């Protein structure tokens, strides 16, 4: 089974209208794309506007809420990227405006509208469900640590985003972006295409300018994959740099939250807020001394000059010719900006990671989710994976109209985290991905980073057969727990393609520097057109 099949990617189920790949014979309507004053606005832009009195937090929040109302659930091909709005957003924004007037801004995120994924807990009037109807009404006892940090920084949480249900760890034949609560999220570049997963709604909403920035989560590809599919910057931090407490888990070995933004500068600004040591997440103890940084200080338009960058062609190139062509162009840009390319620079043992990783995820998902359910106390009667399986069986029409729960059943069959099979798989995953993987190739060639295509252009949404994946480069960084960042690399038939920068543990400053320099040299990012289907007359570009 392809690893992308189970980790790739909102209310009631929304029916999906099938769109022909080469035409629009049914005349299906996309959302009306009217001009938007804040299109592609950055954190720096909006902060300048608030300082000058052009904008207020309340006014920005009103504009983004109106944009969501106009773009997310209209037409016969709705985007369905936002699963729920925060009923307190306008009041929070108004209070922040008053605070700015009386005391000044708390920092770069003061008054900035943000969306967060619906597996990130908020102890307010919003739900936290991982897209599952089973968790509707189950109330977490406190905000997730990253939510606490966002609120403390003055961000306005607009609402929660749709996602691949249970972060796409439910079925081997799932369609990324579908959840029982939110329906099928779509890609704003072509509405019959997958937004990818599992942070599907965060990617689609940010690309569609429904927020300034968003927060996603990743176990393997769930930030970088939807970011690449939606022409975004997506940063999957080193595990331990950003707390996971209050986030519905898959794997304590690999899970992390991270920024999904339209620019590298915004990713750096958001990471500055998200990173922090949390007593409730033991993994963050390792980041002591690495938090409290202003990651925007590492942005350097000349950051590629003298950088040694490896190109791991084996396994991560060759599955899609047009994608490879765009990455070859990217490599030429890097050379022109002074980068030293080591080509090829293969990651040893990359082909051996899938099997032990999958075993680790099955064990850790069972332990993590059952611990999460226990933390909800009397707000839910669910306590075990078996309870979730039973709930889905009892609500097949709404929870399993298109695909099943094979992964839940496989996880249910696993034993505790003391099992020898789990411990062996975990040791193999760490050894093969770290000392005998990324660390080895980077040490051998004295590299600052590796670069590879993030994945092929987004495929068609297929609720009959599920996702169809050609290839991706997310797994080595995911299994090792190391950092990776994707940035727009161009378009194939109008569909986005991303380029991934992959580094060692705690390499976020380096990756941000390199990606910012590449972004400034290319400026590939373009807003989406919300077309019903891709224009197959195009080969590359828009």
Which residues are catalytic, by number?
117, 198, 222
- Dmax (CA) of the chain: 62
Q: Which of 440, 433, 528, 421 is nearest to 474 (CA)?
A: 433
Q: Which helix (H) or strand (E) holds 207?
A: helix 200-207
* Phi–psi pair at 251, nearest 5 degrees: -140, 120
- Give dist(CA 103, CA 230) in Å, integer: 38
Half-sphere exposure of 357 (CA within 13 A, CB side): 26
Give SS3 for 371. Answer: helix
Give whole-number Cα distances, 238 to 187, 225, 285, in Å.
27, 17, 12
> Which tokens hold the place of 437?
């993987």
Q: Which of 485, 488, 487, 482 is nearest to 511 (CA)?
A: 485
Burial-class residue 464 by CB neighbours within 10 Å (0-12, 13-18, 19+).
exposed
Residues whose CB is less than 8 angstroms from the CB of residue 464 and which lie 6 or more positions away in sequence, other chains included: 402
Angle between helices 145-152 and 264-274 (to 10 degrees): 110
- Give dist(CA 141, CA 475) in Å, integer: 33
C-beta of residue 154 within 8 angstroms of C-beta of residue 190: no
Residues whose CB is less than 8 angstroms from the CB of residue 390 and which lie 6 or more positions away in sequence, other chains included: none
* Phi–psi pair at 434, nearest 5 degrees: -100, -90
C-beta of residue 11 within 8 angstroms of C-beta of residue 131: no
Give SS3 for 474. Answer: coil
Residues whose CB is less than 8 angstroms from the CB of residue 205 and which lie 6 or more positions away in sequence, other chains included: 68, 72, 79, 81, 82, 115, 161, 211, 214
How do 484-492 and 178-179 pair as beta strands?
unpaired
Estimate to the nearest angstrom the gap between the alpha carbon of 488 and the chain centroid. Answer: 14
- Give dist(CA 363, CA 497) in Å, integer: 33
SS3 annotation, 273-330: HHECCCCCCHHHHHHCCCCCCCHHHHCCCCCCCCCEEECCHHHHCCCCHHHHHHHHHH
- Give dist(CA 1, CA 361) in Å, integer: 14
C-beta of residue 515 within 8 angstroms of C-beta of residue 449: no
- Give dist(CA 176, CA 197) in Å, integer: 5
């Amino acid at each position: 089974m392809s690893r992308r099949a189970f980790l790739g990617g909102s209310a009631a189920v929304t029916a999906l209208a099938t769109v022909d790949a080469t035409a629009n014979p049914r005349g299906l309507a996309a959302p009306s794309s009217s001009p938007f004053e804040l299109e592609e606005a950055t954190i720096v832009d909006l902060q300048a506007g608030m300082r000058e009195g052009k904008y207020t937090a309340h006014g920005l929040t009103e504009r983004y809420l109106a944009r969501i109302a106009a773009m997310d659930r209209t037409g016969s091909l709705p985007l369905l990227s936002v699963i729920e709005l925060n009923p307190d957003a306008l009041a929070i924004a108004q209070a922040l405006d008053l605070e700015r007037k009386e005391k000044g801004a708390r920092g770069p995120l003061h008054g900035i509208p943000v969306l967060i994924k619906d597996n990130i807990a908020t102890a307010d009037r919003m739900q936290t469900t991982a897209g599952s109807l089973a968790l509707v009404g189950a109330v977490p006892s406190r905000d997730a640590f990253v939510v606490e940090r966002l609120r403390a920084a003055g961000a306005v949480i607009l609402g929660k985003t749709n996602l691949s249900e249970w972060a796409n760890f439910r079925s081997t034949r799932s369609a990324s972006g579908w959840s029982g609560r939110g329906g099928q999220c779509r890609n704003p570049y072509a509405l019959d295409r997958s937004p990818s997963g599992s942070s599907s709604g965060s990617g689609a909403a940010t690309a569609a300018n429904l927020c300034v920035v968003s927060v996603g989560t990743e176990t393997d590809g769930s930030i970088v994959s939807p970011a690449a599919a939606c022409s975004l910057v997506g940063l999957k931090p080193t595990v331990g740099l950003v707390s996971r407490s209050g986030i519905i888990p898959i794997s304590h070995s690999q899970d992390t939250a991270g920024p999904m933004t339209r620019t590298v500068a915004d990713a750096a600004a958001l990471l500055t807020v998200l990173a922090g040591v949390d007593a409730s997440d033991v993994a963050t103890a390792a980041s002591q001394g690495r938090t409290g940084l202003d990651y925007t200080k590492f942005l350097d338009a000349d950051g590629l000059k003298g950088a040694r960058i490896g190109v791991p062609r084996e396994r991560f190139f060759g599955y899609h010719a047009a994608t490879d062509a765009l990455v070859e162009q990217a490599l030429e840009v890097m050379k022109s900006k002074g980068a030293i390319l080591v080509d090829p620079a293969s990651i040893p043992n990359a082909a051996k990671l899938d099997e032990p990783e999958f075993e680790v995820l099955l064990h850790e998902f069972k332990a993590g989710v059952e611990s999460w359910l226990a933390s909800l106390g009397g707000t839910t009667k669910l306590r075990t994976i078996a309870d979730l399986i039973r709930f889905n069986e009892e609500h097949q029409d709404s929870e399993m109209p298109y695909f099943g729960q094979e992964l839940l059943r496989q996880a249910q069959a696993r034993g505790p985290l003391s099992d020898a099979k789990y411990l062996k798989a975990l040791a193999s995953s760490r050894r093969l991905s770290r000392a005998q993987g990324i660390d080895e190739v980077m040490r051998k060639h004295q590299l600052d980073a590796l670069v590879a295509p993030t994945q092929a252009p987004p495929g068609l949404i297929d609720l009959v057969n599920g996702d169809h994946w050609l290839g991706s480069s997310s797994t080595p960084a995911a299994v090792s727990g190391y950092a990776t960042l994707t940035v727009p690399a161009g378009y194939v038939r109008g569909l986005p393609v991303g380029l991934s920068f992959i580094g060692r543990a705690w390499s976020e400053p380096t990756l941000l520097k390199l990606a910012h320099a590449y972004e400034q040299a290319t400026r590939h990012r373009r807003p989406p057109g919300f077309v019903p289907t891709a224009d197959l007359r195009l080969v590359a570009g828009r």
